[in-house]
Amino acid sequence: MTTKPSKPSKPSQTPQTAARFSRRGILAATPLVLGVGALAACSNGGSGGSSDGGGGGESGGTLTIFSTGEEMSFDPATSQNLAITTLGLTARRLTAWKTSADAPTELIPDLATDVGTASEDGTTWTFTLQEGLLFEDGTPITAATVKYGLERSFAAELTGGLTYHKVLLEGGEDYAGPFSDKHLDSIETPDDLTLVFHLNRPYGDFGWIASTPAFAPVPEESGEPETYATEPVASGPYRLESYAPGSKAVLVRNEKWDVDTDQARLGGPDSIEFTLAQDASVVAQSIIADRSDAQDSFLSTFVPTAQLVQAQNDPKVGDRLVTSGPGALEYLALNTESDALKDVKVRQAIQYAVDKEAYRTAKGGEISGDYATTLITPGIAGREEYSLYSDEPTGDVDKAAALLKEAGAGEISLRLVITDDQTGAAESIQQGLKRAGITVTIQPLDENAYSSEVTAGDGTGYDLVLSSWQPDVPSPNANLTPLFDSSQIGDGNYNLARYANPDVDAAILEASSTIDADEAHAKWAAVDKQILEESPVVPLIYSKNSFIHGSGVENFVIGEFPAYPNYLTVTLG
């Protein structure tokens, strides 16, 4: 899911900071504190040229991606990159994602010949590599290089990456990485093309886990922790030619990549330039105007609010402004340990009292998202649409008042903790609850105080908190486990409602252990409703993200999941 979200995403953030603040979690029902990381650092640039060089690219030219970020890392061990963004240009994984604007994201093979085969009990997963795959230097990509790349992610020298595999692989909790010449026995490589993973419990989503960055191959002789971030050995369609922090990173064709072996990437442009440390507003204006130096580019950040309005009203922009479908879940977490919120009827009353229409208006109106009623987000296979509470976006104040009366609730005063950028959204919550006689005091906190009181604290410092969540992989598991499993309360984790229900914990474990996808989806849909019946959070909206690109950019696709463009398929006209 990514980060671990500590703050909700906002339209002016880059995908990298939105990821940090809205999407991370763990997929295993095991307590774990995850590091903060980036989705992507991107930039923009050039023009021209045509080539069908190295790997069968379609469009040639130089694609520029503008980024507000100042630094980039190409080390998969420390990355929280989504499978379709920056790192996927240079590093393949065992599996990959096929995104579509009108269908759920599909798991597809990448380095492997299929998406993995589970044993009957779901504790062993086997992958077979395609034959003939090469690194940029011409050396073979083997099972041993995938194993080494994965082992590197356990090293204390390399922190910040996703950690799902660390709590699933047998012996992972005690393994400290390969730099002391030790290997992880639960990853077997019986031959050059076969990997066998032994898990500590049945796990149905391991094929998705194999699409995360740590499953990229790394040659053992090249994987030094001090240098690999800026001297990677590419397995994808591009290799890193040059990198200057705060300025630019240049990717050029990897001549050893073969498009016929790759279902996830087109390898269209001859080169890709990431222009760093950019002002999003300035870049957006340049792309809106379609200036010559911006035609073959896109902005990696969400379009800032002022420029979004400008682009919407400029007929010359047209379909160069691309808005995603509904994505990350924005929600109001209700601290179930708070004395004022322990009664489920009080929490259910808040479901009816909240004014989602006012909240969405404060976030920017219809373009900011669709109203939310479920916990599993759109674009994820297995999601079921339902509504347990009011179907009116403005709420149902009479129903809220009736529930409060049933609960025997007297005067209720709640403390809503926010970050500085959430004031307008918080005021909409405050005004909605006031209609039902609930007083809300808004308290902005800086990032350190927020972390101390909300994610790492004991729960005594707040009653309500606004947050959002986009998982790292398109699985219901990634929506529900990090936010509602009791093991994820405190210690830097993201069960912000501090919700603990042994029956839900058991249902989460059962669903995540189910190997058959259809059976698992049915179980996750049931867990979704089971949780929301107890009202630990109020779903507000599924946020939408708007991006803009120049007139020379083609195949700029935002799938149903995630709400970001697929960098791997962008080409130039």
List pLDDT tens digits, range 414-465. 999 998 789 999 999 999 999 999 999 999 999 889 988 898 889 999 999 9
DSSP of 54-104: HHH-SS-SEEEEE-S-S-----GGG----TTSGGGGT---SEEEEEETTEE
Mean pLDDT over the full length of the chain: 89
Report the CATH superfamily, name and number, of domain 94-225.
Answer: Periplasmic binding protein-like II (3.40.190.10)
The top-level CATH class assigned to 329-543 is: alpha beta
Cα separation, 33 vs 35, in Å, equals 7
Q: Are 21 and 145 in contact, with CB atoms under 8 Å apart?
A: no
**CA atoms within 13 A of residue 184's CA, in its CB half-sphere:** 32
Q: Are 39 and 85 in contact, with CB atoms under 8 Å apart?
A: yes
Phi, psi angle pair for 258, to nearest 5°: -120, 115
Query: DSSP character for 460?
Result: T
Cα separation, 330 vs 553, in Å, equals 31
Phi, psi angle pair for 278, to nearest 5°: -95, 155
Q: What are the Cα distances from residue 491, in Å, to 4, 33, 172, 399, 487? A: 12, 7, 20, 36, 10
Least confident among 7-11, 234-238, 307-311: 7-11
Identify which has the larger pLDDT, 150 or 453. 150
pLDDT range class, residue 58, cuts 50, 70, 90: low
Report the pLDDT value the prediction gives residue 320, as an integer from 0 to 100. 97
Cα separation, 144 vs 219, in Å, equals 8
Cα separation, 243 vs 273, in Å, equals 10
Report helix angle 476-484 to 502-512, nearest 10: 150
Q: Break the chain into its structural domains and give their ranges.
A: 94-225, 329-543
Which residues are CB-contacts of 237 (< 8 A; sequence separation ≥ 6)?
55, 57, 89, 253, 254, 257, 259, 262, 265, 267
Determine how β-strand 438-445 pairs with β-strand 412-419: parallel
User: Sheet of 537-543: strands edge to edge?
Assistant: 369-371, 537-543, 329-334, 464-469, 412-419, 438-445
pLDDT range class, residue 491, cuts 50, 70, 90: confident
Report the pLDDT value the prediction gives residue 256, as an integer from 0 to 100. 98
The number of helix segments (H) and strand segments (E) in the chain equals 15, 21
Tell me the sheet residues that pair with 297. 64
* Residue 23 in this model has a pLDDT that exceeds 80: no
Report the pLDDT value the prediction gives residue 435, as an integer from 0 to 100. 97
Report the pLDDT value the prediction gives residue 300, as an integer from 0 to 100. 96
Q: What pTM did the predictor assign? A: 0.86
Phi-psi region of 359 (alpha: psi -120 to 50; beta: other; left: phi over 0): alpha
Q: If we measure between CA atoms, which residue out of 94, 79, 3 comes closest to residue 41? A: 79
* Residue 21 in this model has a pLDDT that exceeds 80: no
Residue 537 burial (10 A CB sphere; 0-12, 13-18, 19+): buried
Q: How many CB atoms lie within 10 A of CB 384?
A: 14
